[in-house]
């Protein structure tokens, strides 16, 4: 059984995240979506709400579990016996942000690989930040997020 962690803020989970997760499942037997708890940021959705929403978005997929976590992701990977971290790459700026993190994680846990996947082109410009901004001003985000997230955003208004 090869397990990967898919760590991220997922505030909120988007169709781009779902696309990366579905691609990752063709490579790994199990993927644990790891919702990062960052107590210094005021999130749109609390970590527990994000977990519940992601669970609803991935209900059709086998081999996926969802947890929240605060701390070093490499320590969590060791504990969960994960062989890789899964991350998505949209553009060059993502690579510049990801590369030092991947290198640090490999130093912290030798053998822990970071696997980068490219989303389908139609999802390549979606980000949680853009979704939050459009939502804040009452715009339609139905092209960017799965159904359960769309409903949760509507009921937040």
Closest approach of ligand ADP to the CB of residue 2, in Å: 19
> Which positions lie near ligand ADP, rule CB under 6 A?
8-10, 14, 16-17, 20, 87-88, 90, 94, 119, 123, 126-128
* Closer to ligand ADP by Cβ: residue 22 or 94: 94
Q: Which of 12, 9, 8 is nearest to 147 (CA)?
A: 12
Q: Which of 61, 80, 62 is nearest to 72 (CA)?
A: 80
* Closer to ligand ADP by Cβ: residue 105 or 128: 128
Residues 6 or more apart whose CB falls under 8 angstroms from that of 105 comprise 73, 74, 77, 85, 112, 114
Closest approach of ligand ADP to the CB of residue 23, in Å: 9
The answer to whether 106 is a known catalytic residue is no
The answer to whether 90 is a known catalytic residue is yes
Closest approach of ligand ADP to the CB of residue 127, in Å: 5
Query: To 10 degrees, what angle do helices 147-156 and 47-57 make?
Result: 140
The answer to whether 41 is a known catalytic residue is yes
């Amino acid at each position: 059984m090869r397990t990967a962690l898919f760590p991220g803020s997922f505030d909120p989970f988007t169709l781009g995240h779902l696309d990366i997760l579905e691609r990752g499942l063709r490579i790994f037997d199990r993927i644990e979506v790891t919702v990062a708890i960052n107590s210094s940021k005021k999130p749109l959705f609390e970590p527990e709400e994000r977990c519940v929403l992601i669970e609803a978005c991935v209900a059709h997929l086998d081999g996926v579990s969802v947890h929240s976590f605060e701390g070093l992701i490499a320590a969590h990977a060791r504990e969960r016996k994960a062989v890789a971290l899964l991350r998505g790459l949209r553009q060059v700026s993502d690579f510049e942000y990801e590369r030092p993190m991947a290198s640090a994680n490999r130093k912290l846990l030798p053998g822990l690989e970071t696997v980068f996947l490219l989303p389908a082109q139609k999802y390549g410009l979606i980000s949680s930040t853009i979704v939050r901004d459009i939502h804040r001003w009452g715009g339609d985000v139905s092209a960017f997020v799965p159904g359960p997230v769309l409903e949760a955003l509507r009921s937040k208004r």
